[in-house]
Structure 1
Amino acid sequence: MCEVSGLTRYPLAGVVLSAPALEIGVGSPAERVVARVLSKIVPDLQVAPFESGKISRDPQVVADYDADPLVYRGKIKARTGAEVMTTVQRVRDSLAKIDLPCLVMHGGADEVVRVSGSQLLTERVTTADLTFTVYDGLYHEIFNEPEREQVLADLVGWLKARTWAPTAVASGRGRSARSPRRPMPGG
């Protein structure tokens, strides 16, 4: 997930988040404390495996992931894990800064990133335009699940409801007048 504080630097009209990493699904709280300590002592120690079968229920998606030469195959290193946890906490602490229209989408059976993190986001953001959808039974990569067409349709519907749409051809020259379907905050 992008750094929340960076959202204010760019003229964004909205934010779409798929399984935002606000509650990591790896390790117990005690294991996380140990990982932080180990990151100082032995930062390269491999501490947490990643199970590719948890990304999607579609066997072809998992096979493609496993065959991708750019995918890291080792366990997550202690230092990497500690840095991820630090960044997650910094983002969690900044969620109230999000005042843009926001679509949060999450697989209900996601074991990589817990749904409770998305729920926390919905409780802390300050936007009046928030849509939160949990897809029952879907894993982490909801756009790569067998139900991807429904997920994509939901995304496209959300975007269409918040973007400009052609309304008329102006002067017969093929140019279209554009008007918002609904006003955007701050605009």
Structure 2
Amino acid sequence: MALSFPTSLRQSISSNPFSLFLQRQQEPYHHSIRNPTHHQFDPNPSLVSNLRARRRIHLTVSAKKKAVIEGVSEELNKIAGLNLDFAPARRRVRSAFADAQQQLDHCLFKLAPPGIRTREWYEINLRGLEIFLKSWLPEPGAKIKGSLFFCHGYGDTCTFFFEGIAKRIAAAGYAVYAMDYPGFGLSEGLHGYIPNFDDLVDDVIEQYTKIKGRPELKGLPQFLLGQSMGGAVALKVHLKEPRGWDGVLLVAPMCKIAEDVKPKPEVLKVLGLLSKVIPKAKLFPAKDLDELMFRELKKRRMAPYNVICYSDPVRLRTGMELLRATGDIESQLDEVCAPLLILHGAEDKVTDPLVSQFLYQQALSTDKTLKLYDGSYHCILEGEPDERIFAIFDDIVSWLDRRSMNN
């Protein structure tokens, strides 16, 4: 597949850290989630014609082969290799790997507190999509101090690693609730596709508003926790309903794209154009982030067991929506007014800790705390040495307890 761009873009695209190459999906696109039909995508002819009239840059079209997951059977690897574009396949894969995940030698699984009450269910949202939700409650008879609502990161799910995170927070006396966004985890929607970031935020508000209204949570403080891209989601939720939360916790939040890694204006213009023509097309990032996520090698090797995580190249529209969302948030940081806890690894190369410092300085909140952890990478709740992970949990629970002590 060849598309035409001005010659001046060649150097910008190839030298930028966001160098992007279009990738064809392994399966044809589907327009209907409930009744998919196979077809070949046919881009706008006049737009492609105009592009071809210029000097050409060839964007490589390739298919990404999934890596073999070590330590599991050939049969499980075949299941993990299924096309995960749609929720039924993701649910099948998650179910098949449930036992293997629980056997991992990770503190979040091995040292998970006993007695936690869990529940999984689905809700149909206002756009007709089936949304996966899960809750973790303290053991029977324990007093509930407050509720915590989780917003997961890009490509991630509220299952797998977050299961261990939620259990530890629930054991400290908090009711924990989480959901998979449309297109992620076990919820319906094209895998990894965010056609509109504000719609995603509204989906979160819709589901969490229902839960917050439950009688058993009446009068309890209610907190929002966002990790990585979930930090952007949490901030957007807070900005849309500034009086709706008793506190916002952000872990390595994605709330501003640093200028040195943002695509140049001419590249953004082309990407924006392509996102309207082939919005669901995947992109091939120039930089592999795997080694930048987990500091501890042993834990990094467990990441592939998160089999329903979206790990393919970013889809065109999704990438543009992430850029737009962070731009919106950056322009509204001085409107953030909730009690704020920001936690970030000082050596994070995925989301910049300097941006968290910028958020801390700009936020209107009078009650705000920033904690930077020396030597830590991006996944500070999952990929650090055990003692660092437990120390961060202690920081989170202490912060929650100080704001829940009157209940």
TM-score, scaled relative to structure 1: 0.77
Contact 1:47 1:77 in 2 (8 A): no
Unaligned residue ranges in structure 2 (runs of 5+): 1-230
How far does the alpha carbon of each residue in 1:15-67 deviate from its partner, in whole angstroms, 9 at most, with x for none?
11101102347973345751452242254251425422221112343222222
Q: Quick one: which of 283, 287, 291 aligns to 1:46?
A: 283
Contact 1:50 1:76 in 2 (8 A): no
For 1:6, the equivalent position in structure 2 comes to 240
Contact 2:345 2:378 in 1 (8 A): yes
Moved more, 18-27 or 77-86: 18-27
How far does the alpha carbon of each residue in 1:53-106 deviate from its partner, in whole angstroms, 9 at most, with x for none?
221112343222222221122222333221101001111112222211110010
Which aligned runs of 4 or more in structure 1 are off by greater than 3 angstroms?
A: 23-27, 29-33
For 1:157, the equivalent position in structure 2 comes to 398
For 2:329, the equivalent position in structure 1 comes to 91
For residues 127 and 60 of structure 1, the distance between their equivalents in structure 2, rounded to whole angstroms, comes to 38
Larger Rg: 2
Higher relative contact order (CA 8 A, sep 6+): 1
- Which aligned pairs between 1:43-122 and structure 2 lie closer than 5 A? 43=279, 44-48=281-285, 49-122=287-360
- Which aligned pairs between 1:140-179 and structure 2 lie closer than 5 A? 140-144=378-382, 145-146=384-385, 147-164=388-405, 179=406
How far does the alpha carbon of each residue in 1:100-150 deviate from its partner, in whole angstroms, 9 at most, with x for none?
111001001111111121111112111111110110110111112111011
1:131–1:21 CA distance, 2 compared to 1 (3 A): same
1:142 is paired with a residue of what secondary structure?
coil
Q: Quick one: which of 3, 19, 43 aligns to 2:252?
A: 19
1:64–1:27 CA distance, 2 compared to 1 (3 A): farther
1:108–1:116 CA distance, 2 compared to 1 (3 A): same
Contact 1:25 1:112 in 2 (8 A): no
Contact 1:38 1:45 in 2 (8 A): no
For residues 379 and 322 of structure 2, the distance between their equivalents in structure 1, rounded to whole angstroms, comes to 19
For residues 140 and 7 of structure 1, the distance between their equivalents in structure 2, rounded to whole angstroms, comes to 28
1:32–1:59 CA distance, 2 compared to 1 (3 A): farther
For residues 367 and 345 of structure 2, the distance between their equivalents in structure 1, rounded to whole angstroms, comes to 21
Contact 2:256 2:327 in 1 (8 A): no
Moved more, 86-95 or 25-34: 25-34
Contact 2:339 2:365 in 1 (8 A): yes
| Number of corresponding residues | 165
1:80–1:32 CA distance, 2 compared to 1 (3 A): farther
1:33–1:113 CA distance, 2 compared to 1 (3 A): farther
Aligned: 1:28 with 2:269: no
Contact 1:14 1:100 in 2 (8 A): yes
When the two chains are superposed, the root-mean-square deviation of aligned CA atoms in Å is 2.4
For residues 36 and 28 of structure 1, the distance between their equivalents in structure 2, rounded to whole angstroms, comes to 16
1:8 is paired with a residue of what secondary structure?
coil
For residues 84 and 59 of structure 1, the distance between their equivalents in structure 2, rounded to whole angstroms, comes to 29
2:338 is paired with a residue of what secondary structure?
coil
Unaligned residue ranges in structure 1 (runs of 5+): 165-178, 181-187
1:9 deviates by 5.8
For residues 45 and 61 of structure 1, the distance between their equivalents in structure 2, rounded to whole angstroms, comes to 28
1:137–1:55 CA distance, 2 compared to 1 (3 A): same
Q: Specify the code of the residue in structure 2 equivalent to 1:98.
A: V
For residues 60 and 23 of structure 1, the distance between their equivalents in structure 2, rounded to whole angstroms, comes to 30
